[in-house]
Structure 1
Amino acid sequence: MKLIFSGLVAIAPLVATIWLVVFLYRILLRIGEVIIDGLLIALNATVIRLLNLRPLDLEFPGADILHFLLPIILLFVIGLALRKSAGRKSLQLAERIVEKLPIFGFVLTTFKQVVDAVEGLGGEKDRFKSVAYIEYPNSGHRMIGFVTGNYFDKQTGKDVTAVFVPTSPNPMTGFVVVVDDDKVYDSDMSLEEASKLVFSAGLVAPQKFDAGRSHTNE
């Protein structure tokens, strides 16, 4: 039984990676099929019918590659357009219109928050400043948090730090705590190391942790 478990642990990352690649491939393939099928229906219903031509059909060897590449090409074009001011303004205008719709606005806002959270955990510049510990729920217990800001609290007359504490293993949710500066303990973990630790529920610890433990045991 131990050998089976060891084999499962060994191949699990590879299997998960392959599954994710296949999953993304199928999604892009399906999106490409929908786009091309829609274009063919529109063309066959208008231009082809008016000219009395034979209906177009893109079923040929290698058509799946075209279906797969089409969404990637479209994403590349969109990314290229967003580098221009006109493209960014057009996207912002479209988002404002969608946000005013009752249901679609909620869905759009939710997805934007999720994307922002993922970008922040990835260490994007000016998202999270550093990694820190705060004592919670009792003294001697520490929780990992991402420092998001520092400011002076006029009400208490103290310098405080805003810390986002993600939940594990789903760091898309969490809570923000405002802690006195002297209650925030700096961590030498990088944003990437801390993110991996949170994502894996503590299973993937930085190598420096193991090195420090071995040195202590000696």
Structure 2
Amino acid sequence: MFEQNHPSHRPEPSDGDPPQRGFFRALFARLRNNFIAGLVVIAPIGLTIWLIWTVTGWIDGVVLPLVPNKFKPEQYIGIDIRGLGVIFFLLFTLLVGWMAKGMIGRFFIHWGERIVDQMPVIRSVYNGLKQIAETVFAQSETSFDKACLVEYPRKGIWAVAFISTATKGEVNRRIPRDEQMISVFLPTTPNPTSGFLLFVPQADVIELDMSVEEAAKLVISAGLVAPDEDRVVDAPKMLRRAAQRARADA
């Protein structure tokens, strides 16, 4: 019965608190957006410079110990020039390529490969590395021709792929179809270096107007970076064109 109702001692928020909180919240959001925008600009530049600097130093560390001291400028000027090993490597590679195209160079290459073919383990390693090098450093005429659309993994779902070549050899002969087949590479996202090799009828392939580089950006970015719409034909028009072609073939 002695209880009394005392007023609460909690301080009431003043009229100025909400505007202050809103001000600091807006300031923090603006600073965060500016920081992210700066990171988007700085990160690619910084990583590119760091990668070039690191690779250059690694090549220098491998190549320069093989170069005689009389050819090193640091013996004369006393300054270690970073990237000098890269220059020596490029000159050496050009010299080897020039010799490999000549008759004497081809003779020594075939002679060395015959020796390697007699070594079981080394032969497998050498042939595998040679095939990888020939694939990676192939000439431009063996690169992907165009970007395209194929229905994958089922009808009604379309995926971006790259046209490689017209299907040839035993694969083309064994496929039970009379029409021309095309070899296409279907890349994965976000790593376009892995994917699937598909043999698709030419009538089922929709060629895109975008370049191979633009299609690769589209795949790597998971569709976030799309090519300029003014340079690309409208996709629905291409789909309707493909449907009309399919009905005509039927």
Note the C-alpha offset of 1:103.
Answer: 4.9
Higher relative contact order (CA closer than 8 Å, sequence separation 6+): 1
- TM, length-normalised to structure 2: 0.61
TM-score by length of 1: 0.68
Which residue of structure 2 lines up, in the alignment, with residue 18 of structure 1?
49
CA distance in 2, matches of 1:91, 1:124: 24
Number of matched pairs: 193
- Measure, in 2, the Cα distance between the counterparts of 1:100 and 1:170: 38
Q: Structure 1: any 5+ residue segments left out of the alignment? A: 41-55, 214-218
Alignment map for 1:48-59 (pairs within 5 Å): none
Q: Does 1:75 align with 2:96?
A: no
- In structure 2, the partner of 1:157 is 178
Structure 1 or 2: more strand by fraction: 1
**The residue matched to 2:216 in structure 1 has which SS?**
helix
Q: Using the TM superposition, give the Cα deviation of residue 196 of structure 1 relative to its aligned residue in structure 2, in angstroms.
A: 3.5
1:87/1:149 Cα in 2 relative to 1: closer, same or farther (>3 Å)?
same
Question: In structure 1, how many angstroms separate the alpha carbons of the residues matched to 2:210 and 2:110?
Answer: 36
In structure 2, relative to structure 1, the CA distance for the partners of 1:24 and 1:188 (3 Å cut) is same
- Following the alignment from structure 1 to structure 2, what is the Cα–Cα distance between the partners of residues 167 and 109? 27
SS at 1:28's partner residue? helix
Q: Alpha-carbon deviation of 1:179? A: 1.2
Deviation at 1:33, TM superposition (A): 2.9
Q: CA–CA distance in 2 between the matches of 1:4 and 1:84?
A: 57
Structure 2, unmatched stretches of 5+, are 1-31, 235-250
- The runs of 4+ residues in structure 1 deviating greater than 6 Å are 209-213
Quick one: distance in 2 between partners of 1:171 and 1:150?
21
Secondary structure, counterpart of 2:63 in structure 1: helix
User: What letter is aligned with 1:164?
Assistant: F
Q: CA deviation at 1:170?
A: 2.9
TM-fit CA distance, 1:15 = 1.5
Query: For the pair shown, which has the larger CA radius of gyration, 1 or 2?
Result: 2
**Are the aligned partners of 1:31 and 1:71 in contact in 2 as well (CA < 8 Å)?**
no
1:127 aligns with 2:148: no
2:44 matched to 1:9? no
User: Do the aligned residues in 2 keep the contact of 1:114 with 1:172 (CA within 8 Å)?
Assistant: no
User: What's the CA shift for 1:193?
Assistant: 2.4
Cα separation, partners in 2 of 1:13 and 1:101, compared to 1, 3 Å: farther
TM-fit CA distance, 1:180: 1.8
Amino acid at match of 1:62: I
